[in-house]
Amino acid sequence: MSRIYELMAAELSDKVRSQEVSAEEHLHSILERIDRVDEKIHAYVTIAREEAIARAREIDKKARRGEKLGLLAGVVVAVKDNICTKGIRTTCSSRMLENFVPPYDATVIERLKTSDAIIIGKTNMDEFAMGSTTETSYFGATRNPWNLDKVPGGSSGGSAAAVIAEEATAALGSDTGGSIRCPASYCSDVGLKPTYGLVSRYGLISYANSLEQIGPITRTVRDCALLLSVISGHDSRDSTSVKIPREDYLKYLISDVKGLRIGLPREFFGEGVEEDAKEPVLEAVGKLEEFGASCCEISIPAMKYALPAYYIIAMSEASSNLARYDGLRYGYRDENDEGNFDEVFSRNRRIGFGAEVRRRIILGTYALSAGYFEQYYLKALKIRTLIRRDFERAFKDVDIIIGPTMPLLPFNIGERIDDPLKLYMCDILTVPANLTGYPALSVPSGFRKSLPVGMQIIGKPFDEGTLLRVAYTFEQNTGYHKYRPPL
Ligand code: GLN
């Protein structure tokens, strides 16, 4: 017999609307699930129990009164802790913001609420979204539900772990260089980084604003389409938000890839990408060919510069975005208030930020400083343009690009954390979509050594529809979305 916390967002909202299941009983089954498994996984930083119960009761009341309920009626959503939630602490998993309670909701949160979703709590992440393992959190690491010794990926590791462990029906993450797709791949979720500008960043605490987007993390492609339909669309409070008509992405859920042209970049299957990460993806591509797609090898020559370019741009933007945390206007303020402004400022930041965040602020400040600006930052911007041109050229001949999401299987907690360069290497296959702004989705494509492997599908700007159609076709004909970790 299936338990109600297992329901997908699409099924659940139908049942809440028809009053077959009440939002409150469903929420309680999720809360019990959290009480049972989160001690092992540590997906959550904050659980907003009381607020969630009050919301569930309101939704049930609306249903009883016969009012029209929204697309996500009763759906329990976990939110990455760098997205502002009014009245609910938003920490970025940093000591700096340990006690920050935003006075406003991010646009995506407003939209979730308008569609009758329930915000259950805030999920753990790498501090200020800087990392790929969720180990740099001030509140301690999150564990991979498939194997508690392994990392869940990052930086949205709490969101991805919560969803596959059924501690939430769906989640939001943010992706600056892979932070939605990496943990989706490592936890066997569907994770989508939308085209830059499709989803409002208003209320997202910035790490590297020219690269990042908020996006859904779910167990099925249908739920991904559902959440995207709710959170996307123009917002005048984000100047980079694009003015295009809102879409109903559910219409792309068609199991058909006949005539689809797939490009396989040589660089995504070459040196540095482990066999265990490649094989399931090549098998998946074989399946898509059986269903009528064709594929060819392509090349993205500028890929070899993608990682250094990404890290220079991300760190430079971070050094500027994080300058506001001085302990005076915002953030951690040490009891010891002695000294002049510089001394107080440095002390608050030294204690308030963890080692990785400090490293990036220092390197980013260096890359932007007079004399080095042209040598590092400007050069990185030029490489960004070259990579974009490579992708534009490739997309003249193909409809989508496929590769692994991650170059290696989930590794042990503690294994790479002391070697930043080794950690940065994990992002090699995810950063191109951020540098170009193109949409990219990770879909479960099998297991190796009992650990999940994700397939990455990259599309043309604003062509989320094709990504969803391809992912849906694969999912419906294989069924990897039905597996659950042994908890
Ligand atoms: N791992 C990458 C980084 O550390 C990406 C992080 C992200 O997407 N937020 O910058």
Q: Enumerate the domain spans of the chain.
A: 1-487
The C-alpha atoms of residue 337 and residue 348 are separated, in whole angstroms, by: 9
* Ligand 1 binding pocket mutation candidate from 93, 137, 155 (most atoms within 8 A of CB): 155
**Taking the complete model, does pTM exceed 0.85, yes or no?**
yes
Ligand 1 atom, smallest distance to 427 CA: 1
> Ligand 1 pocket, 363 CB below 6 A?
no
Residue 190 — φ and ψ, nearest 5°? -95, 130
* Ligand 1 binding pocket mutation candidate from 125, 130, 186, 206 (most atoms within 8 A of CB): 130
Residues 325-339: what's their mean pLDDT? 91
Nearest one of 49, 50, 40, 109 to 81, comparing CA atoms = 109
Ligand 1 atom, smallest distance to 426 CA: 1
Strand residues in 49-131 grouped as ranges (E) = 76-80, 118-123
> Ligand 1 pocket, 198 CB below 6 A?
no
Per-residue tokens: 188: 């066997």
pLDDT value at position 238?
98
Neighbours of 67 (CB within 10 A): 10
- DSSP three-state, residue 215: strand
Q: Which residues pair with 294 in a beta bridge?
A: 261
Residue 340 has pLDDT above 60, yes or no: yes
Residues 96-111: what's their mean pLDDT? 97
Ligand 1 atom, smallest distance to 434 CA: 8
Angle at the Cα of 79 from the Cα atoms of 433 and 450, rounded to 5 degrees: 65
Are the beta carbons of 128 and 322 closer than 8 angstroms? yes
Neighbours of 335 (CB within 10 A): 4
Residue 304 has pLDDT above 60, yes or no: yes
> Ligand 1 pocket, 176 CB below 6 A?
yes
pLDDT value at position 329?
82
* Cis previous bond, 13, omega within 30: no
Dihedral, CA of residue 23, residue 119, residue 178 and residue 314, to nearest 10 = 170
- DSSP three-state, residue 448: strand
Ligand 1 atom, smallest distance to 176 CA: 8
Sheet holding 294-298, edge to edge: 44-47, 118-123, 76-80, 170-175, 213-218, 190-193, 440-448, 451-458, 400-404, 261-265, 294-298
What is the distance in A from the centroid of ligand 1 to the CA of 130? 5
Nearest one of 189, 193, 183, 196 to 150, comparing CA atoms = 183
The C-alpha atoms of residue 308 and residue 239 are separated, in whole angstroms, by: 27
Report the chain's mean pLDDT, rounded to a whole number: 97
Q: How confident is the model at residue 1 (pLDDT cuts 50, 70, 90)?
A: very low
The C-alpha atoms of residue 158 and residue 167 are separated, in whole angstroms, by: 10
What is the distance in A from the centroid of ligand 1 to the CA of 272? 19
* Cis previous bond, 155, omega within 30: yes
> Ligand 1 pocket, 125 CB below 6 A?
no
Q: pLDDT tens digit string along 20-35?
A: 999 999 999 999 999 9
Q: How confident is the model at residue 2 (pLDDT cuts 50, 70, 90)?
A: low
> Ligand 1 pocket, 178 CB below 6 A?
yes
> Ligand 1 pocket, 214 CB below 6 A?
no
Residue with tokens 């975005």: 321
Neighbours of 306 (CB within 10 A): 26
- DSSP three-state, residue 245: coil
Nearest one of 103, 100, 48, 41 to 79, comparing CA atoms = 48
Please state, for a pLDDT cut of 70, what percent of the chain lies above it: 100
Q: pLDDT tens digit string along 399-435?
A: 999 999 999 999 999 999 999 999 999 999 999 999 9
Nearest one of 104, 131, 98 to 360, comparing CA atoms = 131
Q: How confident is the model at residue 328 (pLDDT cuts 50, 70, 90)?
A: confident
Q: Could you say which of 3.50.50.60, 2.60.40.10, 3.40.50.460, 3.90.1300.10 is the CATH number of the domain covering 1-487?
A: 3.90.1300.10
pLDDT value at position 481?
97
Report the catalytic residues: 80, 155, 179
Nearest one of 449, 484, 470 to 274, comparing CA atoms = 449
pLDDT value at position 330?
81
> Ligand 1 pocket, 129 CB below 6 A?
yes
What is the distance in A from the centroid of ligand 1 to the CA of 311? 9
* Ligand 1 binding pocket mutation candidate from 207, 315, 416, 417 (most atoms within 8 A of CB): 207
Q: pLDDT tens digit string along 215-257?
A: 999 999 999 999 999 999 999 999 999 999 999 999 999 999 9
Residues 332-352: what's their mean pLDDT? 94
Q: pLDDT tens digit string along 188-211?
A: 999 999 999 999 999 999 999 999
Residue with tokens 């974009």: 388
Neighbours of 403 (CB within 10 A): 27
Ligand 1 atom, smallest distance to 175 CA: 8
Residue with tokens 């220079």: 312
pLDDT value at position 162?
98
Neighbours of 255 (CB within 10 A): 12
